Amino acid sequence: MNKKNAVRSLMFLASLSVTGFALAHGDMTPQAVNTDGLEPLGKEWRDENPYRPPYANNKLAVEIGATAYNQNCARCHGLEAKSGGIAPDLRELEAGAEGDEWFKERVINGAVRDGAVYMPKMADFISQEGLWAIRSYLESVHVE
């Protein structure tokens, strides 16, 4: 490969990764989540995931959460929660009550750094039920 071609392919690679980033951060509006079959929770936020076992419908919560995750979170946090590196790998979020606290804090407040929105306030678009379903899904794929 001569020098000119080498430079060209480098530029091509660079443009690819820029596009990847733009796509990953595309500002699609988050989708409301259908949580029929899960216990309604009302307006007041719980401190802990109410759908964690021994909750009888945990399996349904995980299923709903998997779909809702792929529609609303995957474009930044990666398909199946395996982060491609742009946003944290959510499989590594701590299990149990401590992870719940951090999860709740992030989905309610989003993430803003130097005035730039890195993560929208997901709780403005998705119900508490939908978000705890996503948390249930994330715990089902948890890794240390």
Q: Among residues 11 and 105, whose Cβ is nearest to ligand HEC?
A: 105
Does 108 interact with ligand HEC (rule: CB under 6 A)?
A: no
Using CB under 6 A, which of 41, 60, 108, 111 touches ligand HEC?
Answer: 111
Using CB under 6 A, which of 41, 87, 108, 141 touches ligand HEC?
Answer: 87
Among the listed ranges 8-16, 38-46, 48-56, 99-107, the one in contact with ligand HEC (CB under 6 A) is 99-107
3-class secondary structure per residue, the chain:
CCHHHHHHHHHHHHHHHHHHHHHHCCCCCCCCCCCCCCCCCCCCCCCCCCCCCCCCCHHHHHHHHHHHHHHHCHHHHCHHHCCCCCCCCHHHCCCHHHHHHHHHHHHHHCEEECCEEEECCHHHCCCHHHHHHHHHHHHHCCCC
Q: Among residues 45 and 102, whose Cβ is nearest to ligand HEC?
A: 102
Number of residues that bind ligand HEC (CB under 6 A): 21
Angle at CA 122, nearest 5°, toward 116 and 125? 120
Could you tell me the two tokens for 123?
């709780």
Q: Among residues 5 and 114, whose Cβ is nearest to ligand HEC?
A: 114
Does 123 interact with ligand HEC (rule: CB under 6 A)?
A: no
Site residues, ligand HEC (CB under 6 A)? 25, 72-73, 75-77, 87-88, 90, 93, 102-103, 106-107, 111, 113, 118-119, 122, 126, 134
